[in-house]
Amino acid sequence: MSTHTLSVLVENKPGVLAHVAGLFSRRAFNITSLSVGPTADERVSRMTIVVDGASTPVDQVHKQLEKLVRVLKVVELEADAAVERELALIKVHVHPALRARLLDTAAAFRATVVDLDPRTIVLEAVCSPGRLDALLAALEPHGTCELVRTGLIAIGRGAGTITDDDPARAPGAARQEEQVLLGR
């Protein structure tokens, strides 16, 4: 699956999330994950949207998002030029015989125990996208009974920021600019 990560700055106003979510359903775009939260500027929220490039025309997603009046900026973050993380809370069955192995697995993925019960433990894991899948696979034999994921968040590497005016300095933006001009 070729996923694309879009960082979207939006006005922090009522209805904006509904507009963005509505755009995706109306245009039959598939979202893999969407996370939203405040930024350093209280007037602005930041969404990180992961879309599946195989089923969804990413260039159209980008342009249609930019058409929404409350959307301030859309930047596609390239995986190798960005730090991508996801937080997961995972409730796992504890079989007394496998307890040590479970804690070893958690430690190997730097997942920490945040709740303990005689029958279950809750792990907190902060991972890059592939790593979380690997952790979940490793926990499978123990029996995962509940899973919460935040969805991916991402930030560009280096000194440039998403609010830079110069599109060339904003991570991942130069390519998009070129796409608009050449139409492909």
Partner 1 sequence: MHVTGAQALVRSLERQGVDIVFGLPGGAILPAYDPLRSSSLRHVLVRHEQGAGHAAEGYAWATGRVGVCMATSGPGATNLVTALADAYMDSVPVVAITGQVPTRMIGTDAFQESDITGITSPVTKHNELVTDPARIPAAIAEAFHVASTGRPGPVLVDLPKDVLQATTTWSWPPELDLPGYRVPGPPDPALIARAARMLHAARRPVLYVGGGVVKADAHEALRELAEAAQAPVVTTLMARGAFPDSHPLALGMPGMHGTYAAVAALQEADLIVALGARFDDRVTGKLAAFAPKAKVVHADIDPAEIGKNRVPDVAIIGNLRTVLPDLAIAVRELAGRSGPPGTGEWLATTAGWRRSYPLRYTQRPDGPLKPQHVVERLSAMTGGEAIIVAGVGQHQMHAAQHYTFTRPRSWINSGGLGTMGFAVPAAMGAQIGRPGELVVAIDGDGCFQMTAQELATCAIEGLPIKVMIFNNGFLGMVRQWQELFYEERYSEVHLGTAIPDYVKLAEAYGCAGLRCESPADVDTVLEKALASTDVPVVVDFRTHDAEGVFPMVPAGAANDDIVLGPEFTAAEQEAAARKEVIVP
Nearer to partner 1, 62 or 142 (CB): 62
Rule CB under 8 A: which residues touch partner 1?
10-11, 14-15, 18-19, 22-23, 26, 59-60, 63-64, 66-73, 180-184
The CA distances from residue 90 to 42, 102, 109, 155, in Å, are 31, 12, 13, 24
Q: Which is nearer to partner 1, 9 or 77 (CB)?
A: 9
| Tokens 């991916």 -> residue | 152
Least distance CB 31 / partner 1 (angstroms):
16
Specify the residue, 44 or 88, whose C-beta has the smaller distance to partner 1.
44
Shortest Å distance, C-beta 33 to partner 1: 22
Q: How many CB atoms lie within 10 A of CB 128?
A: 15
Q: Measured from the CB atom, is 145 or 180 closer to partner 1?
A: 180
How far apart are CB 73 and partner 1 at their closest, in Å? 8
In angstroms, what is the minimal distance from the CB of 36 to partner 1? 15
Residue type, 153: I
**CA torsion through residues 130, 133, 135, 141, sign:** negative
List, in sequence order, every residue forming a beta bridge with 51; answer none if it has no partner.
4, 31
Residue 10 Cβ vs partner 1, minimum distance, rounded to whole Å: 7
Residue 35, amino acid:
S
What are phi and psi for residue 163, nearest 5 degrees?
A: -90, 0
CB of 118 vs partner 1, minimal distance in Å: 43
CB closer to partner 1, 22 vs 143: 22
Residue 51 to residue 3: CA distance in whole angstroms:
6
Q: What single DSSP character describes residue 80? A: G
CB nearer to partner 1: give 19 or 93.
Answer: 19
Strand partners, 10: 45, 71
